Amino acid sequence: MNLHITGGEVLTEALVRADLVTDGERIATLDGAPPAKALQIDATGLYVLPGIVDCHGDAFERHIMPRPGVSFDIDLALRDADRAILASGITTAFHGVTWSWEPGLRGADNARLLVERIAALKPELGADTRFHLRHETFNLAAEAEIMDWLGTGRVGVLAFNDHTGGILKSSSRPDKIAKMVERTGLSHEDFMTLAENVWNRRDEVPGLIERLAAAARSAGVPAMSHDDMTPEMRRWYRGLGVTIAEFPVNEATTREAAAHGEAIVFGAPNVVRGGSHIDCPSAEAMVRAGLCTILASDYYYPALPLAPFILTRKGAADFATAWRLVSQGPAAALGLSDRGVIAPGKRADLVLIAPEPQPRVVATIAGGRLVHLADQRILA
């Protein structure tokens, strides 16, 4: 189906009044003549923006397990998450699937099921949905399987995470790790024993990271390091070809990444809430300083379309720059050159937003298909 979107302010280099025509999955022209049978969309009073590319979102986990120990069918959960994603203007979604050494929600069985079901459901989901493997670096048993997934194109992005040390530091604070324990189905004592056994193999972890990073490079899979704690850690990962810094935990480490032109990810919820919930850098402050190139939904999809408007209102960035953090920035970092901008020939991923009084997603178009509509009055 072809679309003819009229009357809106279209974001190219800046917001400009223009009409837009799509031709199947692609953007055809700006201010060109529409085909005779194009679906007419009246975007008067709306912004027409590049669709959002979410490089890291794990809110889908709450669709699988809305309460600790209460799980629902994976297909049902992924379809439900897709609707939430589209309602937030996200047209490309990387589901952040954590594969840890622990059982339960973040264990091996769930990771295997998710990589299978995301691929199987992909044709029917509205968003272009991909698998973001969050590899817990102490998960030594997973090496062969992850190598296979990388080599066979099942992984869209690979992230290196390490929460093991933090768990052990919290061993005297059962309240602090209660949520982690609950999702495993283990008792607190059994969970801590497992964590200790895993920690005892820590000397094997750097070698595994090096081998997986090499495999990702060979397969052309972009790689991220998560929660880099020091500039030295960022330099070590850079040496392995891991060139995306995801949620660096302090400004010094963030500046190390920026000094080498690397992509830097912070959370959109951090912007919307006015700061980090775990005392990490303020995303707004990082944007002001030019130290953030990507915003991700992290744990809350609706934050992504809101964050650029908040940054603009607070004077942290002009609107075009702020919106690039959720569109062109992540698309470029992940090698998706066909999206993230509005231009002829690019993928027709678009979100129509009413900017006032609070920004509201009115329609989402993914690959030229109208996949979310919150106000039918815009259909002529």
**What is the rounded (10 degree) CA torsion for 264, 363, 43, 359?**
-60
- Average pLDDT (221-247) is 97
What structural domains does the chain harbor?
3-48+344-378 (2.30.40.10), 50-333 (3.20.20.140)
Helix (H, G, I), strand (E, B) or coil at 236: helix
* Residue in 159, 295, 157, 160 with CA at minimum distance from that of residue 222: 157
Distance separating alpha carbons of residues 179 and 181, to the nearest angstrom: 5
What pLDDT, on the 0 to 100 scale, is given for residue 34? 87
Q: Is the pLDDT of residue 350 over 70?
A: yes
Q: Is the pLDDT of residue 118 over 70?
A: yes
Where residue 354 falls among pLDDT bands split at 50, 70, 90?
Answer: very high
- Average pLDDT (70-86) is 97
What pLDDT, on the 0 to 100 scale, is given for residue 164? 83
Distance separating alpha carbons of residues 162 and 134, to the nearest angstrom: 10
Where residue 259 falls among pLDDT bands split at 50, 70, 90?
Answer: very high
The β-bridge partners of 136 are 161
Between 129 and 174, residue with greater pLDDT: 129
CA angle 369, 268, 72 (to 5 degrees): 65
Distance separating alpha carbons of residues 329 and 265, to the nearest angstrom: 10
Q: Give the predicted TM-score (pTM) of the model.
A: 0.94
Distance separating alpha carbons of residues 206 and 59, to the nearest angstrom: 29
What pLDDT, on the 0 to 100 scale, is given for residue 182? 81
- Average pLDDT (322-327) is 98
Q: What is the pLDDT of residues 176-226, one digit of tens each?
A: 677 778 878 888 888 888 889 999 999 999 999 999 999 999 999 999 999
- Average pLDDT (30-46) is 93
Q: Is the pLDDT of residue 172 over 70?
A: no
What pLDDT, on the 0 to 100 scale, is given for residue 170? 67
Q: Is the pLDDT of residue 171 over 70?
A: no
Distance separating alpha carbons of residues 241 and 237, to the nearest angstrom: 7
Q: What is the pLDDT of residues 135-169, one digit of tens each?
A: 999 999 999 999 999 999 999 999 999 988 777 77
- Average pLDDT (122-141) is 97
Looking at the chain, the whole-number percentage of residues with pLDDT higher than 70 is 98
Distance separating alpha carbons of residues 38 and 100, to the nearest angstrom: 48
- Average pLDDT (265-278) is 93
The average confidence (pLDDT) of the chain is 95
What pLDDT, on the 0 to 100 scale, is given for residue 192? 86
Q: What is the pLDDT of residues 301-324, one digit of tens each?
A: 999 999 999 999 999 999 999 999
What pLDDT, on the 0 to 100 scale, is given for residue 68? 80
Distance separating alpha carbons of residues 110 and 108, to the nearest angstrom: 5
